[in-house]
Structure 1
Amino acid sequence: MNRRTFLQSTAGLSALAMLGLEARPNAKSVGLQLYTLRSDIQKQGIEKILAEVAKLGYKKVENFGYNQGKFFGKTPTEYRKILADNGLKAISGHYMTARSKAFGDTDGLTKNWDKIVEDAAAIGQEYAVIAYLIDNERKPEDYKQLFELLNKGSEVAKKAGLTLGYHNHDFEFTQKIDGEKPYDLLLKNTNVIMEVDLYWVAKAGENANEYFKKFPGRFPLWHVKDMANTEKKEFAEVGVGTIDFGALFKDAKKAGLKHYFVEQDVCQRPPLESIKISIDNIQAAKWG
């Protein structure tokens, strides 16, 4: 490198430093579940928040709250442009089954599913994930109906070029149906992929590595969130809690991991500060 090239290079690094952006030639491609920033999005708008997310170094996002053809109030064309303007890609999106009206009359697996996956494909999503089962969707007969709904919904998703997935909490492990955990039954009776939420697996007292070994390749999406070292085991920024992510990521290949997303359901500090701590710790970690 000659002197002129060196000076140009260091000037560029100085400019990045002035902007508060660290040059990371080998930076990891980290995703964010936007639900973490739901209050900020509501108050400030999706454009401003996605710009902030990109500045922190996130490269991927996972959507939530799609309804009536809109992502955060934007059409697929509008939303895709906002993502592109910020160098972001929406890899996945969260949806409900729409069997329960607890969250209102929203679109989901049993309502306008064809339109959902069509719009998801239009913004470049690769996955559509069922996010949560309402309390009144957890009876044995509800799960048996769910297996059929997921398998049929998966076929519709495939036609649009998407893969259907399921995101867990802890109740899928703590409940029993005919002596088996709903999570195990989901793996055995459906063809969908699993978006494994590492916090909720740990909260339920389960070992995610054992699932990776028993059902290899079924876990291409992960939610990476930490657990506070307190009696209540609150959500915590990645890297400041008790979860051994290094041990989990050792089995990433066996699990079939392709994308992982930071998510913190509840933050003890401003959410943008929390997600900055998480991504900074991930970038500094040996895993990921």
Structure 2
Amino acid sequence: MNRRNFIQASLGIGALSAVGLEALAATQAKSVGLQLYTVRDDIQKQGIERVLEQVAKLGYKQVENFSYNQGKFFGKTPAEYNKILKDNGLKAVSGHYTTGRSTKFGMGDGLTRNWEKAVEDAAAIGQKYVVLAYLVDDERSAEDYKQLFGILTKSSETAKKSGLTLGYHNHDFEFTQKVDGEKPYDLLLKNTPVVMEMDLYWVEKAGEKPAEYFAKYPGRFPLWHVKDMAKTPQQEFAEVGTGSIDFADLFKHAKQAGLKQYFVEQDVCKRPPMECIKTSIDNIQKAKWG
């Protein structure tokens, strides 16, 4: 399953040198988030309580939700879900939503359906961002995009009333498609007030350079999806630090981009998802970036 099916230590402290202690402190200071879509199969099999417990033990501090519908997160009321988060020392910084206008997703809650309630519930669990996660293929016509600009502007105003910021999460089609001769991603930046959650994998998959967007629209990219690309002809998803994306170079532009929080995500895992996200966070903690 990929994003297109979206809805459906022990360290001997005494032996460490001063330099080692500084390195350890830097490692511990990293605040790594996880987009829970990565472990969706585990959530379905084990339940959200067990999964969040494991996620926290791996060292993740923040999570990004998905699957909000009918006033519940993963089948839990905001109060129930918030307690599970707090019991595991986690914060839900952000959450993914749809527009609510695609018949392919059963017309679930989203920007055009029960949005005020969705925003209120997001604020209740401490989210800072509400993010449009994906445009289904039946809502990508030129007219759909033009309508979307107005939807995003209105939805952003609703989010602000609850102290939240609306964002947009990209895939590759926003760069490979053209609307009136322009890339939809550029039109979204020009015609809406939303911030962008840049999915670094999909930007590079489309042949674009994230740094060029950071320079052109500084401060507009507070959220990133840190997702790696395998060094294969297929360029499939890979654990962070094992692929071809130069995160060290990208993070040099973090300040210019306005980065506030990044989330590990792996749409498809060839190994058990928990093993994959462990590899990713371990590599991030060892890296000089992040």
TM-score where L is the length of structure 2: 0.91
1:44 aligns with 46
Task: Give the conservation status (yes or no) of the 8 Å contact 2:101–2:107.
Answer: no
Tell me by how many angstroms 1:101 deviates.
1.6
1:19 aligns with none
2:91 aligns with 89
5+ residue gaps in structure 1? 1-9, 15-22
1:136 aligns with 138
2:25 aligns with 25
Q: Is 1:182 the equivalent of 2:184?
A: yes
Kindly provide the CA deviation profile for residues 208-242 of structure 1, in whole angstroms up to 9, marking residues without a partner as x: 00000000000000000000011110000000000
The residue type paired with residue 213 of structure 1 is A
Within 2, Cα distance between the matches of 1:24 and 1:68?
43
Superposition CA RMSD, Å: 1.5
Rg bigger for which structure?
1
Task: Give the conservation status (yes or no) of the 8 Å contact 2:215–2:256.
Answer: yes
SS of aligned partner of 1:169:
coil
Cα 1:13–1:188 shift into 2, 3 Å: same
SS of aligned partner of 1:102:
helix
SS of aligned partner of 2:25:
coil
Q: Is 1:198 the equivalent of 2:161?
A: no
Tell me by how many angstroms 1:105 deviates.
2.9
TM-score where L is the length of structure 1: 0.92
1:6 aligns with none
Work out the number of aligned pairs and report it: 271
Write out the 4+ residue segments of structure 1 that deviate beyond 6 Å after TM superposition. 10-14
SS of aligned partner of 1:62:
strand
1:69 aligns with 71
The residue type paired with residue 136 of structure 1 is D
Task: Give the conservation status (yes or no) of the 8 Å contact 2:64–2:93.
Answer: yes
Q: Is 1:251 the equivalent of 2:271?
A: no
1:229 aligns with 231
5+ residue gaps in structure 2? 1-9, 15-22
Tell me by how many angstroms 1:40 deviates.
0.2
Tell me by how many angstroms 1:103 deviates.
1.7
Kindly provide the CA deviation profile for residues 146-171 of structure 1, in whole angstroms up to 9, marking residues without a partner as x: 00000000000000110000000000
Which of 266, 276, 279 is residue 277 of structure 1 equivalent to?
279
Cα 1:68–1:178 shift into 2, 3 Å: same
Within 2, Cα distance between the matches of 1:43 and 1:12?
37
1:3 aligns with none
Cα 1:178–1:273 shift into 2, 3 Å: same
The residue type paired with residue 203 of structure 2 is V
